[in-house]
Amino acid sequence: MSTLAVHDHGVAHHDDHGHEHHHNQSFLSKYVFSMDHKMISKQFLITGITMAVIAMILSILFRIQLAYPDKTFPLLTTLLGRFAPNGRISADFYLSLVTIHGTIMVFFVLTAGLSGTFANLLIPLQIGARDMASPFMNMLSYWFFFIASVIMLSSFLVQKGPASGGWTIYPPLSALPKAMPGSGMGMTLWLVSMVFFIASSLIGGINYVSTVLNMRTKGMDLWKMPLTIWALFLTAILGMLAFPVLVAGVVLLIFDRSFGTSFYLSDIVLNGVQQPYEGGSPILFQHLFWFLGHPEVYIVIMPAMGISSEVMSVNSRKPIFGYHAMVYSLIGITVLSFIVWGHHMFVTGMNPFLGGVFMITTLIIAVPSAVKTFNWLATLWRGNIRFTPAMLFAIGMVSFFISGGLTGIFLGNATLDINLHDTYFVVAHFHLVMGSAAIFGMLAGVYHWFPKMFGKMMDEKLGYLHFWLTFIGAYLVFFPMHFMGLDGVPRRYYAFTEFVSMQRWLTVNTFVTWAAIMAACAQVAFLYNFITSIFIGKKATQNPWESNTLEWTTPVEHLHGNWPGEIPTVYRWPYDYSKPGAEEDYIPQTVPFSQTMSSNLPTDFEDNPKGLEELNKFQSTLKANEQVK
Amino acid sequence: MGFRNFIKSKTLLSFITAFMLLGTNVLMAQTEAAATPGGQPDAPQVDWTGVSYYLLLFFLICLGIAVVGKILKIYDLTLKIQGKKGMKWNTVMAVFCLVFLAVGLYGAYWSFTVQGSMTLPEAASVHGVKIDEMFTVTTVLTMIVFFATQILLFTFLFNYRHSEKRRAHFLPHNNTIEKVWTIAPAIVLTILVVFGFFTWQKIMDNTDAKGEVASINVDITGHQFAWELRYPGKDGKLGPKDFKMVSAANKLGVNFKKKSSFDDLSADTMYLPVNRSVRLNIQAQDVIHSVYMPHFRVQLNAVPGLPTFFKFTPTITTAQMRTKLDDPKFEYLVYCNKICGGGHYNMQKVVRVVTEAEYQAWLSRQKPYLTDQLRKELHFAAADQPKTGIQNRLALNN
């Protein structure tokens, strides 16, 4: 009933809208302070891509330092000034680079850039809504994100450089301005930026959840939603519950830094001077941080999973295998992700018994992840696979998810974590499973929904080039790192020159750096493709991928309110691809069963006895006809 | 007819260009890989004349790609003019997938054998052996899954590449097989969890069992950017510490109110007797550090305000390890493994595992923590005189 009501509301809204159309929107309200979900998603995407490019350049800078720790590059001094005296990046600035690279990638690219883009674009379009529940909040969400990005980047301009305590900003290092240069003004800016960022995430998340719950079109019950929507919906819930805890942690850290409290600090002697802090615990911060931090990695990967599921189903011309299992595993991951945070803290001095408990919960979460992987493989099995760039990236996501996920079984095991914690093994693990996999999910989404966003097609061949160079590059970069970790090489080391045992890894580091540079250059192919396609790309047709979901029933030209007439009604699940007996190899969600009698199956009418009766009647008449013949 | 030949040569040309295109990164990989076994940090480098060289190179590559792109486009068009269907990109990509699988499998094998042999030597502690066993079991299990799933993934991609002639197999779900692949990983993981849980509990148990020879207490304190060591004296007990007592001469803030503090020894190198249980008392003064001794499979964070402990038994002496690794310079080391500031990358301490006799000899040579300067600071009149209450107060006022 509620969907009916919403539907009516939508129509009414549209009627109002007919008048609005005659007003010409000003540049400011159309492109800048837009409240249209499609424009906001583009804003998120372009800001996200910009931030990704910046973070990628930062990574190349520190990769150069790791590959050539003894070489001087005068250009670096020209570019970075005091941060790279005498042609070498300084140790403190190296840590800043690592920190900001991590922060930008995790939060600004893979949280806001990924969820922000696709939740805004797909939620209204795929559930059949005219816009988000609250367009104004949606706009606020973007602008808070934008402010957060500006503040984060502005920390490069302060005297002592940006925050440099690692993206996890563990106190006391981050709490004591004298502990390292980056813990001064740079850290303050980091914290302020994060507060804005979290506000943005929360506003966005509330909007996504309420839109999905309240504004689905007629017939779109929860079990008819595409997996993208399920993933984005659960991601938003996860973010809403987890991010506030980080705010709490960050605010207490601000108190410790600026107002002399001792939430995280105790018994500290810095440079031979006793500090007046007593009674706090650095472990408390880690609990608060990872209570967000672990759900955060699922906030990053779940939209990528949803996008890949959708893209793989469309391009295999096959229904996603085990739709219900896919949804239940997403729900399982959502719930479990709240009780596994302690696996980041096995060796931090947390009570070892607690470590044992977290180890059990952590390894349980591998089960839904395994189910998802097998279901993806089963989706490809006996498919009719079209290799669009989006499909390739979705496949890459699966490959990375397997490679990186399996090493998670090592790290989730407290016993093995003793020797692997904070080594390059961890770096390899999370860059594959959440870095590369999530960014590949995002790129799959960009290639797949580019025609919907911009009304143009991207160049396929450049997409192929981009995919293969990035895919090979990522493996070349991260695969050798596992072995460095197994040799006990710690992460966040400025140079491997001081330890004799690490010097033999220098050649591997050089190789990794060149692989990274190659992969970075490949992104030029993407950027060129992305930008030129917006302007001179081939015009997109309405449903270029022959997909079932609702967004492809909207006209190519964007209009406020998405559908020119009534919002379409949904009759079936989104994965009726290659149904036997159907004319085409896809049946959009808007096609009622009465029009596809020849392809209907008894299972389509599990909760619809009338429909089943009809089907039986139809089949018996068919049989009768055949007998007559 | 000449036109037809032209097309044929074009096919050839496009293959060559495509090969070159792929070749650029393979080539890069090869030259680097070739340099790896050499292991020389000063391997012949490219001339760093300037960035313009690289920019030019990059520009040339882009140009090359653009040319190849145009050629492919023309080839595609000519095919279409002839009434054929254009390039079969689906097939090309499917073949790429198969090639990637083959090259990737070889690459993984190469990495496992060459780089895998560069990893840590056998565990030099009792519990380390258990960790390594567990590691082997986990590696075998996960690698089976790794190779199986990746091979399936890429062969499916090749086998079920697009064809106009057939339709995909409509298979929305199959409850039996889904149950199987939910329960199978669950069982495997349960085994790993149970195995891991009990090993973990055992390793982390830092109290000495009844009847066992008491562990040697060694105190290790981290600060920016070094480790400080303290050994107990004859009483086998370490004196308590209080950060408020820290001064120039009393770097660790040892509290001399307690008797057990007086005979404590300070050391530069961590000497440990082989086959004796050692209890590391770990602490940090300023920020979080992490005591990481990879050869012993020991790691625990050093947290200011939260003393932590790790108990382990070294089993291989430094001398034995040197002969095993055929490296006369080999030393066990403590690393710092938690980001702690600019000097984080160079916070090492040498650890020597020696025989009991060598250990006792070394211990007797160590200087007491209570140096003359510290005595002066604490206003101790005579060295061996037991402290009185007044002196205590003086010490506190200090």
Q: What is the ipTM of this complex?
A: 0.90
Share of chain B above pLDDT 90, in %: 57
| DSSP output for A515-537 | HHHHHHHHHHHHHHHHHHHHHHS
Mean pLDDT of A386-408: 95
Give domain A34-536's CATH superfamily. Cytochrome c oxidase-like, subunit I domain (1.20.210.10)
Judged by CB atoms closer than 8 Å, whether chains meet at B153 and A577 is answered as no
φ and ψ of A241, to 5 deg: -85, -30
Please list the residues that pair with B219 across neighbouring strands: B230, B281
- Chain B interface includes A240 (CB < 8 A): no
Separation of alpha carbons B398 and B394, rounded Å: 6
CA torsion A79→A81→A83→A86, rounded to 10°? 100
- Chain A interface includes B238 (CB < 8 A): no
- B1 min Cα distance to partner chain A (Å): 30
CA A477-A182-A474 angle, 5° bins:
10
Judged by CB atoms closer than 8 Å, whether chains meet at A480 and B167 is answered as no
Predicted confidence at residue B42, as pLDDT, reads 46
Name every chain B residue with its beta carbon within 8 A of the beta carbon of A422. 290, 292, 299, 337-338
- B101 min Cα distance to partner chain A (Å): 11
Residue of B nearest to A510 (CA): B32
The region of weakest confidence among A487-491, B72-76, B85-89, B183-187 is B85-89
- A9 min Cα distance to partner chain B (Å): 35
Please list the residues that pair with B290 across neighbouring strands: B301
**pLDDT beyond 60 at B362:** yes
- Chain B interface includes A462 (CB < 8 A): yes
A449 and A530 Cβ atoms separated by less than 8 Å: no
Judged by CB atoms closer than 8 Å, whether chains meet at A268 and B186 is answered as no
φ and ψ of B299, to 5 deg: -155, 130
Name every chain B residue with its beta carbon within 8 A of the beta carbon of A170. 288, 338-339
Please list the residues that pair with B279 across neighbouring strands: B217, B311
**B339 in any annotated domain:** yes
- B201 three-state secondary structure: helix
B37: confidence class by pLDDT, cuts 50, 70, 90: very low
Predicted confidence at residue A23, as pLDDT, reads 56
Judged by CB atoms closer than 8 Å, whether chains meet at B168 and A316 is answered as yes
A3 and A216 Cβ atoms separated by less than 8 Å: yes
Predicted confidence at residue A594, as pLDDT, reads 87
B122: confidence class by pLDDT, cuts 50, 70, 90: very high
- A600 three-state secondary structure: coil
B-facing residues of A in 563-582 (CB < 8 A) are 575, 577-580
Judged by CB atoms closer than 8 Å, whether chains meet at B299 and A575 is answered as no
**pLDDT beyond 90 at B47:** no
A-facing residues of B in 355-394 (CB < 8 A) are none
Mean pLDDT of chain B: 84
Measured between CB atoms, which of A90, A413, A461 is closest to B69? A461
Name every chain B residue with its beta carbon within 8 A of the beta carbon of A402. 145-146, 149-150, 153
Mean pLDDT of A162-174: 93
Q: Quick: pLDDT tens for B2-22.
A: 444 444 555 555 555 555 555
The pair of structure tokens assigned to A320 is 């996603």
**B312 in any annotated domain:** yes
Share of chain A above pLDDT 90, in %: 79
Judged by CB atoms closer than 8 Å, whether chains meet at B89 and A460 is answered as yes
**pLDDT beyond 90 at A151:** yes
Name every chain B residue with its beta carbon within 8 A of the beta carbon of A173. 287-288, 339-341
- Chain B interface includes A350 (CB < 8 A): no
- Chain A interface includes B104 (CB < 8 A): yes
- Chain B interface includes A363 (CB < 8 A): yes
Judged by CB atoms closer than 8 Å, whether chains meet at A176 and B163 is answered as no
Predicted confidence at residue A68, as pLDDT, reads 92
- Chain A interface includes B96 (CB < 8 A): yes
- Chain A interface includes B288 (CB < 8 A): yes
**B237 in any annotated domain:** yes
- Chain A interface includes B181 (CB < 8 A): yes
**Could you give the number of structural domains in chain B?**
1
Separation of alpha carbons A218 and A8, rounded Å: 9
Judged by CB atoms closer than 8 Å, whether chains meet at B48 and A383 is answered as no
Q: Quick: pLDDT tens for A503-538.
A: 889 999 999 999 999 999 999 999 999 999 999 999
Please list the residues that pair with B289 across neighbouring strands: B302
- B23 min Cα distance to partner chain A (Å): 11
Measured between CB atoms, which of A414, A479, A518 is closest to B200? A414
CATH of the domain at B269: 2.60.40.420
- Chain A interface includes B327 (CB < 8 A): no
Mean pLDDT of chain A: 91
**pLDDT beyond 90 at B31:** no
Q: What is the span of the domain harbouring residue B300?
A: 216-397
Judged by CB atoms closer than 8 Å, whether chains meet at A418 and B131 is answered as yes
Q: Quick: pLDDT tens for A319-363.
A: 999 999 999 999 999 999 999 999 999 999 888 889 999 999 998
Q: Ramachandran region of residue A271, left (φ > 0), alpha (ψ -120 to 50) or beta?
A: left
**pLDDT beyond 50 at B245:** yes
Amino acid found at A508: V
| DSSP output for B274-332 | TTS-EEEEEEESSS-EEEEEGGGTEEEEEBTTB-EEEEE-B-S-HHHHHHHHT-TT--E
Cα separation values, A6 from A219, A427, B18, B68, Å: 12, 47, 54, 53
Share of chain A above pLDDT 70, in %: 96
Name every chain B residue with its beta carbon within 8 A of the beta carbon of A181. 342
Domain ranges of chain A: 34-536, 561-628
Q: Quick: pLDDT tens for A211-242.
A: 999 999 999 999 999 999 999 999 999 999 99
Judged by CB atoms closer than 8 Å, whether chains meet at B168 and A383 is answered as yes
Give which of A66, A347, A524 to mutate to test B binding, by max B Cβ within 10 Å: A347
Separation of alpha carbons A112 and A40, rounded Å: 12
**B12 in any annotated domain:** no
Measured between CB atoms, which of B244, B341, B345 is closest to A495? B345
Give which of A343, A413, A538, A586 to mutate to test B binding, by max B Cβ within 10 Å: A413
**pLDDT beyond 70 at B266:** yes
Amino acid found at A347: V
Judged by CB atoms closer than 8 Å, whether chains meet at B138 and A410 is answered as yes
Predicted confidence at residue B212, as pLDDT, reads 77
